[in-house]
Copies of this chain bind each other. A is one copy, B any other.
Amino acid sequence: MTRQAPYPLNTWYVACTPDEIDNKPLGRTICNKPVVFFRGDEGRVAAMDDFCPHRGAPLSLGFVCDGKLVCGYHGLEMNCSGKCDSMPGQRVRGFPSVRTYPVEERYGFIWIWPGDSDKADTSLIPVLEWADNPEWAYGGGLYHIGCEYRLMIDNLMDLTHETYVHASSIGQPEIEEAAPDTNVNGDEVVTRREMENIPAPPFWQAALRGNGLADDVPVDRWQICRFTPPSHVLIEVGVAHAGNGGAKAPADKKASSIVVDFITPESDTSIWYFWGMARNFKPEDQALTDKIREGQGKIFEEDLEMLEAQQRNLLRYPDRQLLKLNIDGGGVQARRIIDRILSEEREATRVEASA
């Protein structure tokens, strides 16, 4: 029997962003499967095994022509259904098809369902209310990190690490003095932390200024981390001038945004990490969007070395038990939900195999 992957398969992951498939196919390994993404007929996104049925060349080294993906080795043309439509000088009727993957372009991302195609349901893609909304602006990026996806979930569900890893930007000692509170609602895990009447750290001072607010007065700060399966973490963050209700303060008293984290397994020990920030102040200010993205990119880059070193340590000592403190509650609860989903997938596979 095949070993079960350590991540859910019958679910939607972010595979890439639209700019990555402008005018050319993209080869990217998702959940240990080499996949090629391209825009086919009428610009619709398609995804299939990155393996030409002719000689095994990666289709992603080819090009797109008239909505077909043309193999760059000998010219076999694949349509969006994984069928070979034509090949110069050949009858292609009997050519084997390649496996396609359900994909959907939504909210500025290309989503992929790496599991059973017939279970794919686009209504299961999480709703991003800030996306495609003129009152919000979004900027983000992509990092490749050599760690398993759950280490990144842990990282994002316990923002205590900001004080150490991001000391010069968003970290401040007041974070760890405020105990977090974790709740589970169905498949959602929410870890909430509130800090009152504290100074704003540099990143938030800049955001206050960006929103035309004083940056040198005490603030109330909040962090509300929301995990949903398989590995999405959206974090409401912000500061308000102190005493105005914190997260509920009126718009002209606060700077707030949503930290966006889509974590897609590449392999058992590496991820594609799509990070970004959505904000609902000055959405039309592209320079501010760029500045925030640049700042966030630098901050999130600080996690890479730590996560990869942590992964190497865990691979070397696979049997060591780790601590589960209150600050780890978000990650612990998220892992429980993932474990339940993995167990359900295992059971479904067992039932299908015996049917």
Contact = CB atoms under 8 A, between A and B. Distances in A.
Contacts of A88: 160, 163, 173, 176-177
A61 B305 contact: yes
B75 A176 contact: yes
A306 interface: yes
Interface stretch (A15-23, A48-56, A206-214, A292-300): A48-56
A308 to B, nearest CB: 10
Given A313-B56, A322-B55, A74 B306 contact: no
A236 B89 CA distance: 22
A245 B328 CA distance: 73
Given A90-B325, A313-B34, A164 B55 contact: no
Given A61-B305, A89-B179, A160-B75, A56 B317 contact: yes
Contact of A310 (B73, B309, B310): B73
A93 interface: no
Interface string A270-314: 000000000000000000000000000000000001100110011
A53 B313 contact: no
A345 interface: no
A72 interface: yes
A57 B176 contact: no
Chain A, interface size: which category? 35 or more
Contact of A176 (B53, B70, B89, B178): B89
Interface string A55-78: 111100110000000111111000
B306 A61 contact: yes
Interface string A86-125: 0111100001100000000000000000000000000000
Given A73-B164, A88-B176, A164-B71, A320 B54 contact: no
Contacts of A95: 323
B72 A325 contact: no
26 contacts: A51-B313, A51-B320, A54-B322, A54-B325, A55-B322, A55-B328, A56-B314, A56-B317, A57-B310, A57-B313, A58-B310, A61-B305, A61-B306, A62-B164, A70-B164, A71-B164, A74-B160, A74-B176, A75-B160, A88-B160, A89-B160, A89-B179, A89-B326, A90-B325, A90-B326, A96-B323
